[in-house]
Amino acid sequence: MREQDMVLIASYALGGAAAAGALGAALLRAVRHRSTAVSLAVVAAVPVSAMLAGTLAVAWAMFLSRHDLAVVTTVLATAAVVSFAVTLVLGRWVVARSAALTRAARSFGEGGFFAAPREAGTAELAALSAELAATSATLHASRERERALEASRRELVAWISHDLRTPLAGVRAMVEALEDGVATDPERYFRQIRAEAERLDTMVGELFELSRIHAGTLSLAPTRISTYDLVGDALAGVEALARQRGVRLVGERVASVPVEVDGREMTRVLSNLLTNALHRTPADGTVAIAAESGEDGTVVLSVTDGCGGIREQDLPRVFDTGWRGTESRTPPGGAGLGLAIVRGIVEAHAGRAGVRNVAGGCRFEVTLPRAGSAPAAPAGAAAGGA
């Protein structure tokens, strides 16, 4: 066959196939919002139609006999019927798997778990099913956290309302007694009013601090500081309370390890932990504070008390807002915000706070990233006594 004839045949075949392809593309665009089975049928029809159009165009141009044209047309028509049949079966199969996946996705969209279909179908549908299962687990965990936070908020509002009302009622009663002149010891009443006012100021300050932590507006000014200095500042702030409670403070294992923290906020963390430990430890007991190098470039600050331990079922709730380890609404520890503030400040420093039971009490641990290099350690031990 001459080269000129080959070029002519190719041109006619290309023209017929291109016309069929353009028509198929337009049809595919028109049905793009329809079922997957329809799109698959169009996709299957395009190559068969292109082949048929190209063949017929060549046959017409070359003036094939009627017999040869019928044979070619029959062969292509048979191939088209088989292609459409296979495409319809495949389309129904894919649509069925997609429908099952849709029903499963609807279940977790309504608040339940995503139950993956037993047979996911294609690799893409299987990957989508796995992704939906992971998303379902994440959403479920998020819902549980949201429920817990909402319950914690409701409890906090109830507790704070009670704790604010109690000292206010006492102050009002004492003020009325002073106004009526029935107070037998006015100076004692004045001292008690001042104490209640200081208690209210502390509670309001804790609420403000906690609101800043929850709102993500806690402003930190990290500086390089030694754990020795942090522990020393915290011990100095609670020595008077330790003497008043008759509890001995111990700081014998305090390593001088460098950390990058906001000194004021981290001192508050240690002070909260020490104050909580002093309130929970009986007289003649011991509260120990330590600072040691941890694993993976961390520093562990710990406070160990003699409270007798915490119930195992309560350990995960210790740092929750409002948790006070007692059903009483007026424990000596206040509104139960101290440990929640501790966790918030520590997490703002990319650290973590934890607690575990030890012999005779419990041990609160604050784990922080360690700074690059250590400063020179001062002589002596950061220990305080009471």
How far the first Cα of the chain sits from its last, in Å, is 112
What is the bridge-based pairing of β-strands 352-358 and 361-369? antiparallel
Q: What is the number of residues in the chain?
A: 386
What is the bridge-based pairing of β-strands 286-293 and 248-254? parallel
Q: Using CA atoms, how far apart are residues 7 and 20, in angstroms rounded to an integer?
A: 20
Whether the CA torsion 140, 142, 147, 151 is positive or negative: it is: positive
Give the count of beta carbons closer than 10 Å to the beta carbon of residue 284. Answer: 10
Could you give the count of Cα atoms lying within 13 Å of 264 in the half-sphere of its Cβ? 5
Q: Using CA atoms, how far apart are residues 353 and 347, in angstroms rounded to an integer?
A: 8
Both tokens assigned to 115: 């139950």
Q: Using CA atoms, how far apart are residues 275 and 329, in angstroms rounded to an integer?
A: 19
Q: Using CA atoms, how far apart are residues 59 and 53, in angstroms rounded to an integer?
A: 10
Q: Which residue has the tokens 């305090």?
A: 254
Q: Using CA atoms, how far apart are residues 78 and 85, in angstroms rounded to an integer?
A: 11
Report the pLDDT value the prediction gives residue 374, as an integer from 0 to 100. Answer: 42
pTM more than 0.85: no
Both tokens assigned to 164: 């604010």
Are 239 and 350 in contact by the 8 Å Cβ rule? The answer is no
Angle in degrees, CA 41, 47, 50, rounded to 5: 125
Report the pLDDT value the prediction gives residue 355, as an integer from 0 to 100. Answer: 92
Q: Using CA atoms, how far apart are residues 57 and 17, in angstroms rounded to an integer?
A: 9
Q: Which residue has the tokens 């309560």?
A: 314
Report the pLDDT value the prediction gives residue 377, as an integer from 0 to 100. Answer: 40
Domains along the chain with CATH numbers: 3-121 (no CATH), 149-215 (1.10.287.130), 223-369 (3.30.565.10)
Report the pLDDT value the prediction gives residue 385, as an integer from 0 to 100. Answer: 41
pLDDT truncated to tens, each residue of the chain (386 aa)?
566 666 766 776 677 677 777 877 787 777 766 766 677 777 767 777 777 777 777 766 665 566 777 777 787 778 777 877 777 777 777 777 777 777 666 766 565 666 666 665 667 667 777 777 777 778 778 878 788 777 767 776 776 776 777 778 888 888 988 888 887 888 888 988 888 888 888 778 777 777 777 777 778 888 999 999 999 989 998 999 899 999 999 887 888 888 999 888 899 899 989 998 998 899 989 999 999 888 788 899 999 999 888 888 888 878 876 666 554 333 444 556 788 888 888 988 889 999 999 988 999 999 999 876 444 344 333 444 43
The conformation of residue 374, written as its DSSP 8-state character, comes to P
Q: SS3 of 308, please?
A: coil
Whether the CA torsion 311, 314, 316, 318 is positive or negative: it is: negative
